[in-house]
Structure 1
Amino acid sequence: MSEFSLPEYSVLMSVYKNDKAEYFDLAIRSMAEQTVKPHDIVVVCDGPLTSELDACLEKWQVKLAGEMNTVRLSNNCGLGYALNAGLSKCGCNVVARMDSDDISRPDRCEILLTKMTYEKLDLVGGAIEEFESEPGDMGAVRMPPLEKKDINAWMKKRNPFNHVSVVFDKQAVERVGGYEPFPWMEDYWLWARMAAQDCDYANVPDVVVDVRTGEGMYARRSNGAYLRSQTRFFSELRRLGLINRAEQVRSIIERTIVTLLPTGLVKFVYNRFLRTKVNDHYGR
């Protein structure tokens, strides 16, 4: 256990009808069974859910009693809106983000809260390991930059935080406007606004979440709507003063090329050039 007095924290999740109940159940369990347990878990239902998802929620509401807070939106409003609706219901100033189909490692929050407390950070994330069927089957680690100067450099062209890994200071997030609707870019857009306000942040090298991937993730990067959202995003980065015109143009060209690639080739590029193998990550 940490030698520091760690703050209480809330967990913020969003779920919608296309999520799988079995994955959702594992995601909640992984947060409920942390070595440093959460004060509360806030789940935003982004529109009506399936009966299986509702049953999963009801099970955990009974099991966690007053520690789970469910926010139900009458319509599917999108991730940014849903997360902002849930943020206001979080009972603690420190919030851990979680997706509805991933699995946090048991000491995820202990590691991140220790880093946040010791260095007085507004935002801290960690590495993730991707998997297809079960944790460990791909051996692919997405290692983010660790220090603020490297995070700022990385932010010019790629998301410098694994969104599912982060914990953040709720007040710092609310000062920059909280989550905002921005298809596929909600988290990245939040980090950018925090960077523009000179918040303090870092990443840890530890793998803290096992993240479920699949063909859908790669197919999305070959989607025209995804490209349009990214084009708008890099225009907004320039407006914030985080990139210059040349950096904006280069990023848009790179993403246009990816959009034109077949899904299989996109998958190869990501796994070959943008991920670290587990053995390399742990120096074996």
Structure 2
Amino acid sequence: MNVPEISVLLPYYNAEATLADAIDSVLAQQGVDFELILIDDGSTDSSSKVAGRYHNDPRVVAHSHANMGLAATLNVGIELARAAIVARMDADDIARPGRLRSQVAYLNVHPEVNLVGGQINRCVDGVVDSQSNFPLEHSEIVTLLRVGGHALSHPAIAFRTEAARRVGGYWGEGVAEDWDFYLKMAETGRVANLPEVVLDYRFHDAGINAENMRLVRTNIALATENHRRRVSDRAELSATDFRTNTPLALRIRIESETRSLTAYRRGLRTAGTRRLMWLSIASVMGPQFAARRLLSNRHQRER
């Protein structure tokens, strides 16, 4: 078999309602030779039957295992990938036409770049609510990541396979595996974003749970702290050590970020005065996020 230009890594777990749309959006990509690696992470619904409809497509590679979680499943996919470039996809998102071609072309022209993302449409109930304005350049992206700001969208990235293997892939600490991965890739090369939209990102109720968001923000703080330690030749902290010794000021910041982002996601799921209420709460609890959203909206109006 010919080696593809890019391997698309699409893990899924209980995604029967959205999986076919995600797969179709990848298989519709043109202008680039790709393989689509579908990994069933121990689904208990009908996801495997949905995926099975595509197994006869020669571009599809199917794999399944008992439930391992996202990070471990992604590491399996990185090892399965035959191409020099891997693109990420989630089972509830839609790849925009031309996404793979654009990211492969960018990485081919920029050998110093390990990882490239792109802009996303934030979609609620199938309707585009807003568009990201992620920074394009390495220094701006890393600066934002180091303070816990969203500078990349995980299902929208493409990266060099060997670079991912060199940094050890994704960590085993659970959620925020993407943050740790971004920073490790940025330490060994450069990272970037394309200016164009490459993905329709679906917001849904599963992302609103405050306890899950608190764990995400805690692990993002751990990822950024360990990044600082690595670049200054200090030993990394385990998740247990970090949580045991988290300073009070950082715990307060994590809590405010958690409440802000939970309220923001609730606001996206509502309309009218309730939407305004939730977005106002998000702004009060996380003024740093509110400022970025306002700046993003201004840039969108100027386009």
Q: What is the TM-score of this pair, normalised by structure 2?
A: 0.78
Question: Structure 1: how far apart are the matches of 2:41 and 2:19?
Answer: 14
Deviation at 1:229, TM superposition (A): 2.6
**Contact persistence 2:214–2:254 (CA under 8 A):** no
2:257 is the counterpart of 1:258: yes
Question: Structure 2: how far apart are the matches of 1:261 and 1:39?
Answer: 39
Change (3 A) 1:96 1:251: farther
Q: Where do 1:1-284 residues align within 5 Å?
A: 8-17=5-14, 19=15, 21-51=16-46, 53-62=47-56, 64=57, 66-74=58-66, 76-120=67-111, 121-136=113-128, 138=129, 140-157=130-147, 158-197=149-188, 199-220=189-210, 223-241=213-231, 253-260=252-259, 263-264=262-263, 267=267, 268=279, 269=282, 273-275=291-293, 276-277=296-297, 280-281=299-300, 283-284=302-303
- Size of the aligned set, in residue pairs, is 265
Q: Which moved more, 1:176-185 or 1:166-175?
A: 176-185
Deviation at 1:55, TM superposition (A): 1.7
Change (3 A) 1:261 1:105: closer
Q: Which runs of 5+ in 2 are unaligned?
A: 235-245, 268-278, 284-288
Q: Which residue of 1 aligns with 2:240?
A: none
Deviation at 1:262, TM superposition (A): 8.8
Percent sequence identity over matched residues?
A: 25
Change (3 A) 1:203 1:73: same
Query: Secondary structure of the equivalent of 1:240?
Result: helix
Q: What is the TM-score of this pair, normalised by structure 1?
A: 0.83
The letter of the residue matching 2:255 is T
The letter of the residue matching 2:54 is W
Question: Structure 1: how far apart are the matches of 2:261 and 2:182?
Answer: 30
Change (3 A) 1:57 1:10: same
Deviations 1:179-204 (A, max 9, x none): 2223221111111112222x122111
Query: Secondary structure of the equivalent of 1:61?
Result: coil
Question: Structure 2: how far apart are the matches of 1:130 and 1:265?
Answer: 13
Question: Structure 1: how far apart are the matches of 2:150 and 2:261?
Answer: 22
Query: Secondary structure of the equivalent of 1:225?
Result: helix
- The higher relative CO (CA closer than 8 Å, separation ≥ 6) is in 1
Deviation at 1:222, TM superposition (A): 6.5
Question: Structure 2: how far apart are the matches of 1:262 and 1:167?
Answer: 26
Change (3 A) 1:260 1:9: closer
Change (3 A) 1:274 1:71: farther
**Contact persistence 1:47–1:73 (CA under 8 A):** yes
Change (3 A) 1:80 1:135: same
The letter of the residue matching 2:62 is T
Deviations 1:72-112 (A, max 9, x none): 112x1111100001111112111111011000101111222
Q: Which runs of 5+ in 1 are unaligned?
A: 1-6
